[in-house]
Amino acid sequence: MKSIKNIKAKKGNPWGWIPTLYMAEGIPYVIVMSVATIMYERLGLSNAQIALYTSWLYLPWVIKPFWSPIVELFETKRWWIVMMQMLIGAALGGLAFSLEAPNYIQWSLAMLWIMAFSSATHDIAADGFYMLALDDQQQAFFVGIRSTFYRIASIIGQGLLIMFAGTLESRLTPSHAWSITFALTALLFFAFFAFHAHMLPKTEADKKQQETDLLHAVKDFFGTFVSFFRKKHIVIALLFILCYRLPEAMLVKICPLFLLGSTESGGLALTTGDIGIVQGTLGVIGLTLGGILGGVAAEAGGLKRWLWPMVLSITLPDAVYIGLAYFQPEGLFWVSICVFIEQFGYGFGFTAYMLYLMHFSKGESTTAHYAFCTGLMALGMMLPGMVAGFLQESVGYLNFFIIATLLCALTFAVAALIKTDVDTDNDILQKIDEKN
């Protein structure tokens, strides 16, 4: 623990900023990706509109690898972190005010776009700052802590915020309830901004690269981009990245709408507060536990041993939604069990996805190639989500879930194509822990 003490003396106590930094990283992502879907349903948009509009919000994470090098050239990572938190707070405030406007859809989407781009930029800066502010031993020590507080942020965003909005909905109009919810969240982010402006350490390593020529940086970037698409087995890798999670990409936008939808439309008629409990709390816990178990399994046997159990885990639980749509149970008991099972299975099965991506990225320009993989990961979620709402409105909830489950055949097909005789090292397991 000697180095832990040294870092306190040199750069401030990491316990003073790592937990709040990764909570500030997780909350806006959850709002953009999950909370916005529920908000728009409560404001009366159709499923097709909701799925299309909110799936577009993945775009900043799709193109994040392209502007990540630019962040390196202008200002310090500390500056980017603080400024993005202020901008996220401003976007949340704008979102709160926009919901009462006549043309609230356009204004609220504009605020969500600002939040999405700010959040993706914050991700780049925060992860880079973490690497600069801590040495290797501290990075290893705090990796579990940062991922824990990121999960806590997920529960706050998908659980507490939604339950709070649901409580207000019982007394106010939906637009007023969500306006208050986002206004208070904006205050939280202005507090994050003020806190981190004071608490984040200033390190000599964190400096803008003024000596780096922009043209040279762009040339290097596109050279790395071309080398990525020249990697061996790139076609198989692209198929795997885009298709392994395709059923989940279809489900993720429709499941909350199904839970909220009226029984006449085939939904379960849960309240907003119920969603916060079922998906935002129990679902996130299931996802986290599945991810932890997946990491343990990966350490024990790697991809070669666990690929097919993980494929089964990420696909078969999707069928629980067929049962829910068919029987339409009342109350939260069976709904909670089914959501927990599906999310636990997804968390466990997602480990195989990350293992393959990290192994595929190995070699020359590993970090940059992994960044391209993460952009393609987001694209694999964005494109199916955009059409999911139209498909559901065309065939109904029950048939939609049957189709999504049948699409699991694609997951099996692309899994059969990949190379599995690879080793599992500590760096890969550490990254899996961060992602889950």
pLDDT for residue 365: 78
The pTM score is 0.89
How far from 102 is each of 37, 105, 169, 361, CA to CA, in Å? 19, 8, 19, 48
Residue 115 in contact with residue 57, Cβ under 8 Å?
Answer: no
Q: How far apart are CA 210 and CA 33, in angstroms?
A: 35
Say what the pLDDT of residue 9 is.
35
State the Cα angle at 185 between 184 and 189, rounded to 5°. Answer: 120
Using 70 as the pLDDT threshold, list the residues of the chain that sit under it.
Answer: 1-12, 205-214, 421-436
CB 415 within 8 A of CB 312: no
Nearest to 243 by CA among 192, 314, 180, 313: 314
Q: Beta-carbon neighbour count of residue 409 at 10 Å?
A: 11
Mean pLDDT score of the chain, rounded to an integer? 89
**Contact yes or no for 10/142 (Cβ under 8 A):** no
Q: Which of 97, 148, 142 is nearest to 288 (CA)?
A: 148
Angle CA 196–14–370, to nearest 5: 85
Interval 3-21: pLDDT, tens: 444 444 344 688 899 999 9
d(Cα 1, Cα 22) in Å, to the nearest integer? Answer: 23
Q: Which two tokens stand for residue 99?
A: 């919901």
Separation of alpha carbons 201 and 203, rounded Å: 6
Name the superfamily (CATH) of residues 220-436.
MFS general substrate transporter like domains (1.20.1250.20)
Inter-residue contact 374 to 58 (CB < 8 Å): no
Q: What pLDDT shows up at residue 242?
A: 95
Classify the phi-psi angles of 182: left when phi > 0, otherwise alpha if psi is within -120 to 50, otherwise beta. alpha
pLDDT at residue 6, rounded to an integer: 43
**Could you tell me which of 410, 52, 42 has the C-alpha nearest to residue 254?**
52
Is 220-436 the same fold as 1-212?
Answer: yes
Structural domain boundaries in the chain: 1-212, 220-436
What was the pLDDT predicted at 24? 95
pLDDT at 128: 86
- Dihedral sign of CA atoms 89, 67, 247, 418 in order: negative
Class of domain 1-212: mainly alpha
Cα(291)–Cα(418) distance, integer angstroms: 21
pLDDT computed for residue 130 by the predictor: 86
Contacts of 3 (CB under 8 A, 6+ apart): 135, 137, 138
